[in-house]
Amino acid sequence: MTFVASDDIRAAFSAALSAMYRNEVPLYGDLLDIVASVNQAVLRADPALAADLEQHGALDRLAGERHGAIRVGTAEELSLMRRAFAVMGMQPVGYYDLAVAGVPVYSTAFRPIAPEALRRNPFRVFTSLLRLELIEDEALRETARTLLSSRRIFSQPAVKLVEQYEQQGGLTAAEAERFVAEVLETFRWHSEALVDAQTYQRLLASHRLVADVVSFRGPHINHLTPRTLDIDAAQAEMTRRGMAAKEEIEGPPPRRVPILLRQTSFRALQEHIRFQGQASGEGGTHTARFGEIEQRGLALTEKGRALYDALLNDARKDVGPQGATYPQRLRAAFAQFPDAHVELRREGLGFYHYALTSAGRRDAARSTTPGDMEALIERGWVSAEPLTYEDFLPVSAAGIFQSNLGRGEQGSYSAVTAQDAFEQALGAPVLNPFDLYRQMEQQSIDMVREKLRIA
């Protein structure tokens, strides 16, 4: 029996999801057009970058790269989602607790983890689990629990195909095609609410995100995010086209060496819905789905991330020159963060992929080999390619969520980090992203040293 590679199932699902979402939210198609035109302009203006991306096989990845976001309501839903994503070669990476920012969820990101799998298709889904215990109204909390316990977000054929994958170790071409079609239905928008208008308003008063999770039959995809090479240009183009873009880009300020993740979005849409007990043509509106664009940069080490977090906190405190805007405070704070690859490497702030150059392969056997990686780079024997940050930032995620949930939301919840409870609901531990980047970097160093030893 011949099985389809998980990478190919993931690519097929990502493409199908993008097509479905573009049909449901036409403005997403406008975002894709903006990103494509901005990326083309950047590559025309920077032939060296274009050549570098092509050399490393990253141009095709850039065109198809996107991430999605969903919200589930129960541990059972989260666990089954983990099993479904495993069919696509996606593992839970990282733990994000957004409750401290006023969003009653904790989250992980399902994504591929192997370098080759990331090159082939880096599709990710940021997945959040509603924290029912944070709903203060006990009666409303029980109503939400009852509603969630009665729904089934995956079709029975989808569940059977997940079980089939687990039992036989893969899916045939026909099975994979059915799997993609069935799981796609889990992410589809449904305008018929599971609740009446009064219950919806009570859920909405608790938190807009609570209403979004509890009121519908499944975890509709609430955004798909293409990747741009210049998010500032993309933001300007969104504004030029009359989109209701965020005032500020989330994440670090513009830099010569992009780091981590920068994100922006247009405001969530008001979409017509029909409540239980209402006739056709009646109903209200619901605000949940929005458009987002991201720019990804260098993955930072623990040391680099600690410096990033400290500088971000400084910028978020309303200090500095009188009247300074947040972007101005952000740029001022990040003047302390090195902005050249050589400094970032020497100070241990970022992760890199090292490779032997043609000069290294040619000359290493004829002279003494330096032991230090930086000395090898200076000699021209080794190249250092920045590892792309594949994950998310909790402050940025909360900022995007809050900007699309409307004003007047609760500032924070009195909750502590609950990773153990999240992993219990997930049915597996989340992987540590720092460990994954460190392994990728170390494997490349070991490969360089092995080739030099042979030479």
3-state secondary structure 112-175: CCCHHHHHHCCCEEEEEEECHHHCCCHHHHHHHHHHHHCCCCCCHHHHHHHHHHHHHCCCCHHH
Give yes or no for a contact between 50 and 62, defined as CB atoms under 8 angstroms apart.
Answer: no
Task: Kindly give the confidence (pLDDT) of every residue in the chain, 455 residues in length, as a single tens digit, with 9 standing for 90 and above.
Answer: 799 999 999 999 999 999 999 998 888 888 899 999 999 999 999 998 888 888 777 777 777 788 999 999 999 999 999 999 999 999 999 999 888 777 889 999 999 999 999 988 999 999 999 999 888 889 999 999 999 999 999 999 999 999 999 999 999 999 999 999 999 999 999 888 888 989 999 998 888 889 999 999 999 998 889 999 999 999 999 889 888 887 888 899 999 999 999 998 877 677 888 888 777 767 788 877 778 899 999 999 999 999 999 998 888 876 556 677 888 888 999 999 999 999 999 999 999 999 999 888 887 766 666 668 898 899 889 999 999 999 998 765 555 555 545 544 444 444 456 899 999 999 999 999 999 999 999 999 999 988 887 55
Distance CA 391, CA 399 (A): 16
Give yes or no for a contact between 197 and 191, defined as CB atoms under 8 angstroms apart.
Answer: no
Whole-angstrom Cα Rg for the chain: 23
Give yes or no for a contact between 422 and 108, defined as CB atoms under 8 angstroms apart.
Answer: yes
Question: For the chain, give me the number of helices (H) and strands (E)?
Answer: 20, 11
Phi, psi dihedrals of residue 70, rounded to the nearest 5°: -135, 165
Pull the structure tokens for residue 157. 């054929």
Identify the CA nearest to 228 among candidates 394, 33, 52. 33
What structural domains does the chain harbor? 6-298+393-417 (3.10.180.80)
Distance CA 199, CA 217 (A): 15
Which one-letter amino acid corresponds to residue 321?
A: P
User: Rounded to an integer, what is the distance from CA 255 to the centroid of its chain?
Assistant: 21
Distance CA 109, CA 128 (A): 9
**Predicted model pTM:** 0.90
Distance CA 192, CA 194 (A): 7
Distance CA 197, CA 209 (A): 16
Q: Which residue's structure tokens are 């995010």?
A: 225
From residue 276, how far is each of 139, 215, 254 by CA, in Å? 20, 10, 48
DSSP per position, 189-239: ---B-SS-HHHHHHHHHH-HHHHHHHSSSS----EEEEB-S-HHHHHHHHH
